[in-house]
Amino acid sequence: MSDDLTVGLRELAESAEQLPPSSGADVRRLAQRRRGRRRTIAALGGTAAVAAVALTLVLSLGGSGTGRQDMPATRPTGTLMRQPAPDAEVDLSSRLLKAGGRSMPVSSGFVRTPTPTGRMTVISKVVVTMVSGEVVGRPSDLRYKVPWVIRLRADDGRTTAVFGFATDETVPGVYDMTSGWIGLRTVDAKWLYDRLRTGSVVDIEGHAPAVPWAVPSA
Length of the chain: 218
CB within 8 A of 100, min separation 6: which ones? 195
**Closest C-alpha to 161, from 177, 174, 148:** 148
103 has pLDDT over 90: yes
Report the pLDDT value the prediction gives residue 80, as an integer from 0 to 100.
Answer: 60
Is residue 18's pLDDT more than 80?
A: no
Residue 51 pLDDT greater than 90, yes or no: no
**Domain ranges within the chain, ordered by starting residue:** 3-60, 88-205
Q: Is the pTM higher than 0.75?
A: no
Q: How many helices (H) and strands (E) does the chain have?
A: 3, 8
Domain 88-205 has CATH 3.90.79.10: no
- Average the pLDDT over each of 133-142, 145-154, 209-218 and give the range with the smallest value: 209-218
The string of pLDDT tens digits covering residues 21-33 is 555 666 566 666 7
Q: Per residue in 112-149, pLDDT tens?
A: 899 999 999 999 999 999 999 999 999 999 999 999 99
Predicted pLDDT of residue 217: 47
Per-residue three-class SS string for 125-171: EEEEEEEEHHHHCCCCCCEEEEEEEEEEECCCCCEEEEEECCCCCCC
* 3 sits in which H/E element: helix 3-18
Question: Could you give the 3-state DSSP secondary structure of residue 18?
Answer: helix
Give the span between the Cα atoms of 100 and 202, in whole angstroms: 12
Query: Which CA distances in Å does 189 have to 90, 125, 183, 205, 211?
Result: 13, 12, 8, 19, 25
Q: What are the backbone angles phi and psi of residue 51, rounded to the nearest 5°?
A: -65, -40
Q: pLDDT tens digits, residue range 62-100?
A: 544 444 455 555 555 555 677 889 999 999 999 999 999
Distances (CA, A) of 80 to 74, 77, 86: 16, 10, 18
The pLDDT-based confidence of 215 (bands split at 50, 70, 90) is very low
